[in-house]
Amino acid sequence: MTLVCLLATAGLTGTSAQALPPAVAAALKQAGLPENAVAVLVQDADGIHPARLSHRADTLMNPASVMKLVTTYAALDLLGPAFVWKTPVWADGTVIGDTLKGNLVLMGRGDPSLVLERLWLLLRRVQGLGIRNIDGDIVLDRRAFAVPQTDPADFDDAPLRPYNVASDALLINFKSVLLTFVPDLQANVARVLSDPPLWGVKVTPQVPLNMAASACGDYRTALKANFSDPLHIRLNGSYPAVCGEQIWPVAYVDPASYNARAIAGLWHTMGGGLTGQVRDGTAPPTSPSFVVSSPPLSSVIRDINKFSNNVMAQQVFLTLGLEASASHTGSPDAARAVLRQWWQTRISPHHASGLVSDPALDDTPVFDNGSGLSRTGRISPRALGRLLQAAYAQPLMPELMASLPMVGVDGTLKRSPTVAGSAHLKTGSLQDVMAVAGYVHAASGKRYAVAAIVNHPRAAQARPALDALLAWTLQQ
């Protein structure tokens, strides 16, 4: 095929702006958004026919969490849907009676789903070895990931939001605390439960009930919480009785000490004794006493895509680097290199055709951290469309599609006004960004791959326009 034909096939002969459907254009105008702030591609999922709609489709845009489509499909393709993360555990010493004379060692290998319940099961497995007391330390080997130190406030000055938690080879419960508020009408208080029990950390055990509030409203502000002291979570306000039971997830203010506090706290509440401390260290070279496995990747990516979990996505991203690394270390640079090679081999027709000498043809996305929680990540709707078409033609398609929120049914699209069940789509939103991409199941029975990205200071107002685009696609 000639260069001209290849360019025409890929649609890269220009950044054409095909007229948007009238309802979409009207919604953009109503929102005060110019049409050049939007990039859209609607095409057959099977790739047989030309695009139904192409508006600035070759424009590189910040896709926000839509970037998770790239990371999760690459993981399915490279690791396989049955891939599991393994966390080896060593009872490194001699068990005398019910006491381990030595250290308990946990090696993190990037498991994105080592939540409180699974940590409890891991420690119960330890007790199943006959160990109730540890006359030594609990050692945490976290060397599998090499992640630069960051300030959780760097991205959006919201360090207590769980989505800002940094990746960790031994990521326990997303380094977050769940505060559960249970109203007790007779005592006129809301009782406060805190999970996991962080060793050495006090939490205000109860707060007064506000019986006068007629609506739940912003109960978090009403609590007047102070999280600044790592040793004491203080709640100085009241709790509206009308709220009923609520759960507030908060990233722990001192993430560096979270693992030690969570493991020590849970071990002690399970009746375990510990003479030493919980500390970082190195696993022994011997075979582990046992290994704990995560749910399969196919299950993990459902949590990532349906609920747009940034921390889990970054764990998968780093795992791609880890699994390909000769040094057995997952780093952002290693992960980006893996994704770049995968894209150029499996998705980009230009690299496969030997046309990489022309920089204008390099449509490789800017992956950054793989989650979309980024100001520098970039991809075009055309590139997203190619990814969706490539996935649609592969046996892995059902796994990817099932991981995406279904409009009007679940995940981030549970409240979508679009016809329930008519599309599987990944959403994305950041300040100045609104995006959606995935598969629409049209009334005609055809299936379309759709990608639409808005980059503009008023992007938050773009939802009606994106809904109008989906409605238009449904009628094709």
pLDDT of 121 strictly over 90: yes
Write down the domain spans for the chain.
Answer: 3-82+298-474, 85-294
Sheet containing 423-430: give its strands across: 53-55, 38-44, 447-455, 433-441, 423-430
Q: Are 364 and 352 in contact (CB under 8 A)?
A: no
CATH number given to 3-82+298-474 = 3.40.710.10
What local confidence, expressed as pLDDT, does residue 2 receive?
32
The position carrying tokens 């952002």 is 332
Evaluate if residue 8 carries a pLDDT over 80. no
pTM of the predicted model as reported, rounded to 2 decimal places: 0.93
Report pLDDT for 326: 82
Rounded percentage of the chain residues whose pLDDT exceeds 90: 87
Task: State the CB neighbour count (10 A cutoff) for residue 285.
Answer: 5
- Please report, rounded to a whole number, the percentage of residues in the chain having pLDDT higher than 70: 94
Contact 383, 347 (CB under 8 A): yes
Look at the block and give the residue holding tokens 């001192």: 254
pLDDT tens digits for range 257-307: 999 999 999 999 999 999 999 999 999 999 999 999 999 999 999 999 999
C-alpha radius of gyration, the chain, whole number:
25
In CATH, the architecture of 85-294 is 3-Layer(bba) Sandwich (3.50)
Element (H, E) at 274: strand 273-274
For 206, the 3-state DSSP assignment is strand
Identify the residue whose tokens are 């502000």. Answer: 221
